[in-house]
Structure 1
């Protein structure tokens, strides 16, 4: 992986902002919660912490029950010791934390929220690599027992278990665990690192917030990073450009988190892990012992060992009044097969990020 500061994928500023604040919050959830997989990787990769600190940090992770209840005809488990984690974020309009040890609002209420971000995190069997595959939230898929809908509707209809069933049917990967994190974890993590360095290649104006990002290098604190990654307007490619920008920011965040400066400082490493784990919710089946074991096995993982891509997209269209994303099923089968066989890095090298240049 290139070790130079990360560059975003921003383009023109020809879109106008909406008048509805909820749509801005919706974008915040979508882009920020794209950092879920990154936060999970960081919590797993920084496993060299002393035993008693691991107990405390892992112990503050919250649990959700019945994540796998009622699932039938599931795919075969990952080969060897490979692990598949479905990383989710929801678009519920709550000002209270919904994840982690300090959660005050439930992580799921029937019909009130959808997954605004979906990623499959795969940890290779040899623990020498991992992959993060984004699934566009508007992907038009079959939801088991409920017909066709956007993939983000599964969580709204029946919670985590239906989301798992839908993703398993789409990918033919068996999901071993789920993880949900609050956007506050992203902000705290950025501040714990002393900011994250990103290069903005050209001056871009966010008309929704009257914020201009000047071309050049920026070290962003948590609040600034929130503004940066939540930008919805001024990106010609819409959701697809935001995914590209999000993935680039993830690389910068991971590179800085796993740098020698962070790992060599027990205080900083602890602060990073604390920021991650206290905003993390996982399935009840994922025991503290299992999490600790995965922590230890991934202690040598580097940012360059994580491959990022997006489920291949054929194009966009409409289903009734809904704007939807149509996935490329043939290329998708190739990608998910590569993930299953611990070859995601090879697939990414051959095919790239899997995103079209723009959305029509």
Structure 2
């Protein structure tokens, strides 16, 4: 099956999908105003920027699990206040014996499973905030899945997307698309499925609802996205003109939902999602948001409104993690897709196969905190997010 055929296959509603789009049915349910570099006082400006950056509380969500704050007065109170607004997910991990789970590797960083859900049906009135609902059997599929590995030295983050239609073994259910695991067994089965697939012990789980990216984008004043080549309108899809676009939350969601005209269908759309997250992160760190108390408060509140994390992650844990990542820079966050092994058909379902031979070294690198080396060796791979994204 070619990419065009696959991109039109109904495969479940993604975090970025539009429920009103007939092509996307649901199967289940600062610059800191310091002046330009090289101007008078630039050395002092750079010193101030570095000092301010060191004060930042950075919570990476990839979508990134982005929660940035604490650069204002009352650091601990601020962190505690907004951390408390993040909903906790009980019983998020599998209860199978330790002998049946991957062994944790000491001093090898932390790995989050990031899950995107659609919660729009929970919004009672126009303008109300969506919140990822508690799991109900068969009610929803996790259609955006990313593994986010934070290195032990806290200097780098690697985010790996797993295609929602990846054909895998789901414990107790046989083979199916990976996004069915959440529908059948919620976070515990999703975690168990990903652990079995990768051999990586998942340390924490984060769930974000669809509206989160829109709110976060607007909270930082929009993002700049470059379209390398014009993509003509197709059906109800709009035309995307070549060039750099400053997108608000609504337009950014259109960008990441789009798949028509993209040669590799959902795989290209996954790269758009990653590209958007990269742009959101860059805008957050460079737009003055972190030095503007009002804008910062809006950003933090947006995160608290749309993010849930497992109940093993306390407020203190979030604070400590964020503080430990205070020196992380935008170029220290890298994105890629799990190695693509081709499209296929399983019982009339369009599926994606993982290239297991290529994936094994990736999972080993993440498991053993060697992602910097792995990404350096695979910098030109088509699975790695480059600067130019369709």
- In the superposition, the TM-score normalised over structure 1's length comes to 0.84
Q: What's the counterpart of residue 109 of structure 1?
A: 136
2:326 partner SS: coil
Say if 2:171 is the partner of 1:144: yes
Q: C-alpha separation between the residues in 2 aligned to 1:306 and 1:273?
A: 20
Matching residue within 107, 129, 138 for 1:80: 107
2:256 equivalent in structure 1? 229
2:121 aligns to what SS in structure 1? Answer: coil
Q: Does 1:350 align with 2:374?
A: no
Deviation at 1:64, TM superposition (A): 1.6
2:366 aligned with 1:339: yes
Could you tell me whether the CA contact under 8 Å between 2:344 and 2:352 is conserved in 1?
A: yes
What per-residue deviation string (whole Å, max 9, x for no partner) do you get for residues 314-347 of structure 1?
Answer: 1111111111111111211100111122222332
Query: 2:148 aligned with 1:121, yes or no?
Result: yes
* Cα pair distance change 1:334/1:272, threshold 3 Å: same
In the other structure, the counterpart of 1:216 is: 243
Deviation at 1:264, TM superposition (A): 2.6
Equivalent in the alignment of 2:85? 60
Mean CA deviation greater in 306-315 or 78-87: 78-87
Whether the aligned pair in 2 keeps the contact of 1:92 and 1:113 (CA below 8 Å) is no
Instruction: Structure 2: state its 5+ residue gaps.
Output: 11-18, 27-59, 386-390
Q: Secondary structure of the residue that 1:114 maps to in structure 2?
A: coil
Could you tell me how far apart the structure 1 residues matched to 2:70 and 2:105 are? 22
Partner SS for 2:88: strand
> How far apart, CA to CA, are the structure 2 residues paired with 1:194 and 1:26?
31
Is the CA contact (8 Å cut-off) linking 1:173 and 1:340 kept in structure 2? yes
Q: Offset at 1:267?
A: 2.7
Residue in structure 1 matched with residue 47 of structure 2 by the alignment:
none
Taking the aligned partners of 1:111 and 1:121, their CA distance within structure 2 comes to 26
Give, in angstroms, the shift of residue 260 of structure 1: 6.2
Where in structure 1 are there 5+ consecutive unaligned residues? 1-10, 28-35
User: Aligned in 2, Cα 1:334/1:26: closer, same or farther, shift over 3 Å?
Assistant: farther
**Aligned length in residues:** 332
Alignment of 1:202-351 (within 5 A): 202-259=229-286, 261-351=288-378
1:268 deviates by 2.4
Match of 1:21 in 2: 20
- Whole-Å Cα distance in 2 between the matches of residues 212 and 90 of structure 1? 27
TM-aligned CA deviation for residue 164 of structure 1 = 0.3
Equivalent residue number for residue 5 of structure 1: none
Distance 1:110 1:280 in 2: 20
Shift of 1:143: 0.9
Instruction: Supply the distance in 2 between the matched residues of 1:51 and 1:123 (Cα, whole angstroms).
Output: 22
Residue 217 of structure 1 aligns to a residue whose secondary structure is strand
Distance of aligned partners of 1:136 and 1:16 in 2 relative to their CA distance in 1, 3 Å threshold: closer
C-alpha distance in 1, partners of 2:329/2:254?
Answer: 27
SS of the residue aligned with 1:110?
Answer: coil
- Conserved? CA contact 1:92–1:114, under 8 Å: no
Q: CA deviation at 1:26?
A: 5.6
Distance in 2, matches of 1:169 and 1:349, equals 26
What is the deviation of 1:51?
A: 1.1
> What SS class does the counterpart of residue 295 from structure 2 fall into?
helix
Question: Alignment RMSD, CA only?
Answer: 2.8
**Structure 1 residue matching 2:232: 3-state secondary structure:** strand
Rounded to whole Å, the distance in 2 between the matches of 1:156 and 1:222 is 28
1:279 Cα deviation after fit: 0.7
Higher relative contact order (CA 8 A, sep 6+): 1
Please, which moves more after superposition, 217-226 or 347-356? 347-356
C-alpha contact 1:140 1:148 (8 A) present in aligned 2: yes
Q: Distance in 2 between matches of 1:104 and 1:182?
A: 6
Q: CA deviation at 1:204?
A: 1.6
Partner-residue secondary structure (3-state), 1:213: coil
Q: CA deviation at 1:207?
A: 2.6
* TM-score computed with the length of structure 2 as normaliser: 0.78
